[in-house]
């Protein structure tokens, strides 16, 4: 039961991270030692759905709760206290880097992980400085709905590729506000039993959700194959994404909350720094307790069963 409670808590953090611009659920999965387990689950879900749900239910519920908490609560914290809230997550990411670099073997002689790290840094920095097309959804027509499906597929990358923010992708293509409002309206309808509100939003939720599921499965299968053949290269790439993540996140902090940042006092930044340190040491502590499961071992288990 204790294991499931811990997994539930980690799932909540992953769900929250998927909503905050500049953050990635995949990054939180790496931080908490769940990355390869999630990749395996996404990749093989349609092969052994019952087995995977039985194994992953606590994480799944946590992710759903994390989405709800982020949409209904974390966004309020971001509006009022963006600097401390975001710096806490930055600390969690920084604290995870030493453990992940061990898996990449960056200190060894192999050049592959070093090249992977460089590529990861360049990719994320490039994504960070992409121009936004705007946040307004405009007219919700057929083309927009088709775009909603494909943006779900593209944005799902944030759940399986550390450092790549689905929220940032939604912002770049002008869907962020619409998706956040859609999720908020749908959940409000569910919690208040407002069936008219549910009915007016559920079609768009399903279209977006199918896109997300398709994207997650396809990208997870690709990453699984690469991990089985080029593990150190992929982990080097992940380290690069993690190293560049704080830069990307801070750029988004200044870009998304310019007024709050400019009005932040020394005390606010100091409290943010303290929370960042708490995040660093908390991440180091958690990574020292967890032994991440390997894709190879998980695949052997699948063959045995």
Report in angstroms the alpha-carbon separations of 186 from 21, 70, 196, 203, 204.
20, 14, 10, 10, 10
In a domain, 305, yes or no: no
Query: For the chain, what is the radius of gyration of the CA atoms?
Result: 19
The angle formed by the CA atoms of residues 7, 221 and 243, to the nearest 5 degrees, is 65
Position 75 pLDDT exceeds 70: no
3-state helix, strand and coil shares in percent for the chain, rounded to the nearest 5:
80, 0, 20
In a domain, 254, yes or no: yes
Q: Name the domain count of the chain.
A: 1
CB 236 within 8 A of CB 115: yes
Q: Which residues contact 187 (CB under 8 A, 6 or more apart)?
A: 68, 71, 72
The secondary structure of 45-102 as a DSSP string is TTTSHHHHHHHHHHHHHHHHHHHHHIIIIIHHHHHH-HHHHHHHHHHHHHHHHHHHHH
CB 39 within 8 A of CB 297: no
Residue 151 belongs to what domain range? 2-300
pLDDT of residue 297: 61
In a domain, 67, yes or no: yes
Position 60 pLDDT exceeds 50: yes
Taking residues 273-284, report their average pLDDT: 88
Taking residues 249-266, report their average pLDDT: 83
Position 147 pLDDT exceeds 90: no
> Tokens standing for 162?
């550390």
Please state which of the ranges 26-35, 48-57, 82-91 shows the lowest mean pLDDT: 26-35
pLDDT of residue 170: 75
Please state which of the ranges 125-129, 198-202, 244-248, 260-264 shows the lowest mean pLDDT: 125-129
Position 268 pLDDT exceeds 60: yes
In a domain, 82, yes or no: yes
The per-residue pLDDT for range 192-201, each reduced to its tens digit, is: 888 888 888 8
The per-residue pLDDT for range 93-125, each reduced to its tens digit, is: 888 788 777 777 777 888 888 998 998 899 888
pLDDT of residue 139: 58
Place 135 in a pLDDT band, splitting at 50, 70 and 90.
Answer: very low
CB 112 within 8 A of CB 230: yes
Average pLDDT across the chain, whole number: 79
Alpha helices in 156-265 (DSSP H): 157-160, 166-172, 176-192, 195-229, 231-256, 258-263
If one compares 28 and 273, the residue with the highest pLDDT of the two is 273
Highest mean pLDDT of the ranges 238-247, 266-275, 288-297: 266-275
pLDDT of residue 111: 85
In a domain, 38, yes or no: yes
Place 171 in a pLDDT band, splitting at 50, 70 and 90.
Answer: low
In a domain, 166, yes or no: yes
């Amino acid at each position: 039961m204790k294991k499931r409670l811990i997994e539930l808590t980690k799932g909540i953090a992953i769900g929250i991270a998927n909503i905050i611009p500049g953050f990635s659920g995949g990054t939180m999965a790496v931080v908490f030692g769940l990355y390869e387990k999630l990749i395996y689950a996404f990749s093989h879900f349609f092969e052994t759905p019952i087995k995977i749900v039985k194994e992953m239910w606590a994480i799944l519920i946590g992710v759903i709760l994390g989405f709800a908490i982020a949409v209904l609560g974390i966004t309020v914290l971001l509006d009022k206290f963006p600097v401390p809230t975001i710096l806490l997550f930055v600390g969690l990411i920084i604290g995870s880097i030493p453990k992940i670099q061990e898996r990449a073997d960056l200190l060894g002689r192999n050049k592959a992980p070093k090249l992977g790290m460089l590529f990861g840094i360049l990719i994320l920095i490039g994504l960070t400085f992409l121009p936004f097309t705007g946040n307004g959804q405009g007219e919700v027509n057929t083309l927009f709905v088709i775009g909603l499906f494909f943006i779900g597929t593209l944005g799902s990358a944030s759940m399986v590729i550390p450092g790549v923010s689905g929220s940032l992708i939604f912002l770049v293509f002008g869907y962020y506000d619409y998706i956040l409002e859609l999720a908020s309206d749908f959940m409000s309808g569910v919690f208040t039993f407002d069936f008219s509100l549910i009915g007016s939003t559920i079609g768009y939720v399903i279209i977006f959700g199918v896109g997300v599921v398709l994207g997650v499965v396809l990208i997870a299968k690709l990453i699984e194959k690469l991990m089985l053949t080029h593990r150190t290269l992929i982990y080097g790439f992940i380290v690069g994404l993690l190293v560049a993540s704080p830069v990307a996140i801070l750029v988004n902090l200044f870009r998304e909350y310019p007024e709050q940042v400019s009005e932040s006092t020394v005390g606010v930044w100091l409290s943010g720094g303290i929370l960042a340190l708490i995040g660093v040491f908390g991440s180091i502590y958690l990574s020292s307790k967890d032994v991440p499961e390997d894709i190879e071992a998980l695949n052997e288990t699948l063959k045995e069963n």
